[in-house]
Structure 1
Amino acid sequence: MPPTQPPPPTLKSYLTDIYHTIPLIHDLPLALTRIKSFPTRLTLSEVSGSFGDFGTFIPLTIALSRANAISLPSAIFFAGLSNILAGLAWDLPMPVQPMKSIAAAAVVENLSRSSVTASGILVGSMLILLSVTNLIEVINMIVPTTVVSGLQLGLGVKLSSLGITMITTLSFASQIDCGLLGILASILGLVLLKNEASTEETKIKLLPPAAVTLFLIAIIFASIELKINGDDPLYDLPLKMFGPSVVYLAVDDITLTDWREGFFNLALPQLPLTTLNSVVSVAALASTLYPERRKPPQKQSQPHHKISTDDDVLSRREVAMSVGLLNSIFCLFGGMPNCHGAGGLAGQHRFGARNGTSVIFLGLLKIIIAIFFGASALTFFEAIPNSILGVLLAIAGAELGLTGLLLTLKDLHPSNPETKTKLFVLMCTAVVIVGTGKTQYGVLAGLIAYVFYGDGYEDYKKLLKRSRHASEEMEDVTTHVEEEEDEEDV
């Protein structure tokens, strides 16, 4: 008798595995428990952490709204709803950010709102396909940890550089929003962050959290700016309550040209960034930031469509399914293309967030702004000082870059000969991302360095051998089962 092997896949087992990749749905009782415990778990630290992603969210959202590529109230409303769903599903400070490549291309190329909507639906559909077919795990096997670390480091440096540029392009002190305000906000932020990271014995408990303090200062300066420069045509004053509907059918006006532009100009360039930074990288980052939440591999109904191959905090298939569903559904009704960015997770963690309460609070705040202040949201966002947003962005980028370095360095020792090789691959990825501004080019450069300078060639050979061996074993098992069935029939 041959050794007992798992049965071949069936349609029922395949659909069961897909069901378990849908966040929130398969664990609804736990989500209901998180709703009940929300008031008691909402601490000042969680509120502070919820603002850690504003440095990325606000500038990109404003840019898309100015270009008439999105409906601002609808975009904020569905971003808030996505925050709430993500917080309930995973109980992690999972961010929701505009897709950067789509945002940049839509603004630069002046693409229509219909093209942006089409791109969100298309990217979402492709990510659902990657999750359902488990191809996301193939991507994870092909891309080594050093390249993921380089991706995080490169994006972290880019985010920090963007934040610093937002400050340095301002006048030093001739306006309310100036370089001096950015310098003072940076110093204050560093002092408050150091206090947050201190031990209980050395912490000054009277000092407030960094992100809450900086955001409140931003609101004060925005109010002063609107009061002093209210006659500026940039600001639509007086501020008004309510506004256009936050939910509408966005696909009514999409033409074949919009679908084509959305696919070739927006969705295709975005897919590599979303797959690596919003799925593979964010899952790796969650395991680095919250190692105590690692879970044992779930027992699967059949071997070919595993939810996770290791003890990750987050399943890559779940994250891919989440981004896919949020975009393919919410973009139909006015949402903008969103993703779960590693930079946002690092920023919210750095400013104090540790569980899903922070993003649930943030989601409620966005929904309130969209419904009650949708008519004037853009006006108020325009008045928020770039100097303070730049500080938030620079801190979030520094945290992401540092986390990427630690992801590779945690298992290495200076005397280990592999250390230099892995750091070289990491730096190749990061430097090309920073130098070209293209994430996909950096990942490609890192993979080339991994193959020709590192151990990638041998690793990929072993991976192919294992895949062939697993396929042969499955063929043997299938043949054996068929033979047994034939014997029973006889």
Structure 2
Amino acid sequence: MAYSIRSRAESDLEFSASEVTGALGDSVTVLPLLVALGATTSVSLSHVLVGFGVFQIVWGLYYGLPLSVEPMKALIGLAIVGTLTYAELAAAGLLAGGVLLAVGQLGLVGRLQRVVGEPVIRGVQFAVALLLLAAAVDLSVSDLPMAAGGLVVVALLSLVGYRRASVLVVLGLGGVAAVATAGVPTPAVPELAIFPAGSPSVTGAALEGTVAQLGMTVGNAAIATALLCGDLYDRDVSADTLSTSMGVTCLAAIPFGGVPMCHGSGGLAGKYAFGARTGGANVLLGVGYIGLALVAASAVLAAFPMAILGVLLVVVALELARAAFAPVDDRRSLAIVLGVGAVGLLVNVGVAFVVGAVAFWLRSQQS
């Protein structure tokens, strides 16, 4: 049975089995990073999950779409490998949030989108798909028997027409394994405090991380996600609006223990691949994140078999790659898509975005 209400965006918010499975399709792009972040920094995982939960709900209601809310991967990655401390991560997130809010309000992202060209943005989508696929391999090799079992479950359920339900089954099996290892969690309410894991610190490393992240965010989380909203949901969502909402998210969440967050084409593709069609998926996932924050999230997530998430990431990556190539109908555009994807995989998405934009401009001068 599905229930629906009307959102501020005048779209139905449905609460059905498809919205549940779709919501979980986004979580597979988020949870591996959060587990690694919790294991390597002083971050409070419970506070981080509350931040994700709140803003999943906020933007689901606001947009009426299953818009993704993901960690800013460049900054989170730098924190995981020790290049940024938590204090520097918080500072970089606040700086990035301020810039995104400003450029979104000034309409600068939309102007950039009109100059860059669609093949470049398709290439960014393809780059993210390749990065997700690489992450899937990394997660899967940590426990090949577990990954193989998850792959068999997904394949069998997909063959009989239940691909969307496969995410529930696979994550359910992983949850049982986690509880068996860590034990039944004890509920605990996260402390309400300002910067509970430490105050922000603006350093050279924080500034460098901010610049690297903004290149990825503008290309993938703003412009590519805006394009994907039209591809998958036939909705016109401007890149400037997405930039503004990402800025609001960072500036509001980080002081209360959250981490830098953005919208992303990978999470949006994940939700679509597993059945989400409305903002109801965000509401359901938001409630799930908050619930997880209340039940000793660190212990449960640390025990969760990450190889299972790797299997589901493969499905997300394939959906995003399909969306990236579907409208490409000429060789020159295909070359740009492939080139941007390769640079994004081998270097980073921000550099790929700039290289692709230059290549597109040069091609336009020759036309």
TM-score, normalized by length of structure 1?
0.70
How far apart are the structure 2 equivalents of 1:78 and 1:167? 28
Correspondence list, 1:81-480, <5 A: 81-168=54-141, 170=142, 178-196=143-161, 209-226=165-182, 239-242=185-188, 244-245=190-191, 247-250=192-195, 254=199, 258-261=201-204, 263-291=206-234, 294=235, 313-370=236-293, 372-373=294-295, 376-406=296-326, 408-409=327-328, 412=329, 419-436=330-347, 438-452=348-362, 454-455=363-364, 457=365
How far apart are the structure 2 equivalents of 1:399 and 1:147? 18
CA 83–321 in structure 1, closer or farther in 2 if over 3 Å, else same: same
How far apart are the structure 2 equivalents of 1:378 and 1:68? 12
Per the TM alignment, residue 69 of structure 1 is displaced from its structure 2 partner at its CA by: 4.5
How far apart are the structure 1 equivalents of 2:33 and 2:243? 22
Equivalence for 1:199: none
Per the TM alignment, residue 340 of structure 1 is displaced from its structure 2 partner at its CA by: 0.6
Unaligned runs of 5+ in 1: 1-28, 171-177, 197-203, 228-237, 295-312, 413-418, 460-490
Q: In the alignment, which of 39, 43, 58 is matched to residue 66 of structure 1?
A: 39
CA 147–69 in structure 1, closer or farther in 2 if over 3 Å, else same: farther
Contact 2:116/2:361 (CA < 8 Å) preserved in 1?
A: no
Q: Map Cα deviations across residues 334-382 of structure 1 (whole Å, 9 max, x no partner).
A: 1111111100000111011110101100001111222x21xx2111101
Q: Map Cα deviations across residues 48-101 of structure 1 (whole Å, 9 max, x no partner).
A: 111002222111111211222422111100110000001101111111111100
How far apart are the structure 1 equivalents of 2:266 and 2:312? 11
Q: Map Cα deviations across residues 273-329 of structure 1 (whole Å, 9 max, x no partner).
A: 1111111000100100012xx4xxxxxxxxxxxxxxxxxx21222111100101112
How far apart are the structure 1 equivalents of 2:123 and 2:292? 37
Equivalence for 1:47: 20
Unaligned runs of 5+ in 2: 1-5
How far apart are the structure 2 equivalents of 1:360 and 1:244? 20
Equivalent AA in structure 1 for residue 147 of structure 2: G
Q: Map Cα deviations across residues 119-141 of structure 1 (whole Å, 9 max, x no partner).
A: 11111110111111111112102
Per the TM alignment, residue 251 of structure 1 is displaced from its structure 2 partner at its CA by: 8.7
Contact 2:123/2:339 (CA < 8 Å) preserved in 1?
A: yes
Q: Mean Cα displacement is larger for which, 113-122 or 274-283?
A: 113-122
Q: Map Cα deviations across residues 398-449 of structure 1 (whole Å, 9 max, x no partner).
A: 111111111x32xx3xxxxxx111111111101111222x112222332233
Contact 1:189/1:214 (CA < 8 Å) preserved in 2?
A: yes
Contact 1:47/1:353 (CA < 8 Å) preserved in 2?
A: yes
Per the TM alignment, residue 271 of structure 1 is displaced from its structure 2 partner at its CA by: 0.5
How far apart are the structure 1 equivalents of 2:131 and 2:155? 20
Per the TM alignment, residue 112 of structure 1 is displaced from its structure 2 partner at its CA by: 2.5
Contact 2:9/2:64 (CA < 8 Å) preserved in 1?
A: no
Q: Mean Cα displacement is larger for which, 259-268 or 128-137?
A: 259-268
How far apart are the structure 1 equivalents of 2:196 and 2:45? 17
Contact 2:22/2:164 (CA < 8 Å) preserved in 1?
A: no
Per the TM alignment, residue 161 of structure 1 is displaced from its structure 2 partner at its CA by: 1.8
Per the TM alignment, residue 253 of structure 1 is displaced from its structure 2 partner at its CA by: 5.3
Over the residues paired in the alignment, what is the CA RMSD in angstroms?
A: 2.3
How far apart are the structure 2 equivalents of 1:264 and 1:434? 23
Contact 2:164/2:274 (CA < 8 Å) preserved in 1?
A: no
How far apart are the structure 2 equivalents of 1:123 and 1:268? 8
Q: Secondary structure at the match of 2:55?
A: helix
Sequence identity (%)? 24
Per the TM alignment, residue 106 of structure 1 is displaced from its structure 2 partner at its CA by: 1.2
How far apart are the structure 1 equivalents of 2:159 and 2:237? 29
Structure index of larger Rg: 1
Equivalent AA in structure 2 for residue 133 of structure 1: L
How far apart are the structure 1 equivalents of 2:128 and 2:10? 36
CA 208–144 in structure 1, closer or farther in 2 if over 3 Å, else same: closer
How far apart are the structure 2 equivalents of 1:69 and 1:346? 31
How far apart are the structure 1 equivalents of 2:164 and 2:86? 41
